[in-house]
Amino acid sequence: MTAARPTATGAPGYTETMPCEPKSARRARLLVSAALNTWGIGELAGDGAQVVAELVNNVVRHTRCRVVRVRVTRPAERVVRIGVADSCRDTPEPGYLDDNSEGGRGLLLVEALSWRWGYDRKRWGKVVWAELEVPGTEAPVAC
């Protein structure tokens, strides 16, 4: 387990590796909130904390990974990216629910709270990410 640390080069960011267990969602929420408050955009902390908790909980529920890595970056002035990396190569799929479903809403909530979300496959697994739009800036342009 490592402490949260700022990235030394590239876009501003914070990263932390934590055990793949339910209590890590709380640590991930704290990391995201601390990063957003440090950058002066604490108004995004509620949505950001909810997004990262859902992404971490998905890894805990749907993979057999031992650790999960959370990364919060500012790839552009108007964008915050929250990424959760794990070693499983299975791709995330939003749930299809009926009124009686008790779970499966995590990615639907991520989609509702974020400007956009997706995943990047890696040789070692994947990174599921969500981007939040920073208020008071020009709307982000999708690449």
Residue in the structure block whose two tokens are 């914070």: 14
d(CA 30, CA 131) in angstroms, rounded, equals 17
Residue ranges and CATH numbers for the domains of the chain are 5-133 (3.30.565.10)
Helix (H, G, I), strand (E, B) or coil at 55: helix
Q: pLDDT tens digits, the chain, 143 residues: what are they?
A: 445 555 555 567 999 999 999 999 999 999 999 999 999 999 999 999 999 999 999 999 999 999 999 999 999 999 999 999 999 998 887 655 545 545 556 889 999 999 999 999 999 999 999 999 998 866 666 65
> For residue 53, what are the contacts with CB-CB under 8 A and spacing of at least 6?
25, 26, 28, 29
Four-residue CA torsion sign, 6, 9, 13, 14: negative
Give Cα 51 to chain centroid, integer Å.
Answer: 6
Beta pairing, strands 125-133 & 116-122: antiparallel
- Whole-model pTM: value is 0.84
Structural tokens at position 128: 């599921």
**Burial class (CB within 10 angstroms; exposed 0-12, middle 13-18, buried 19+) of 124:** exposed
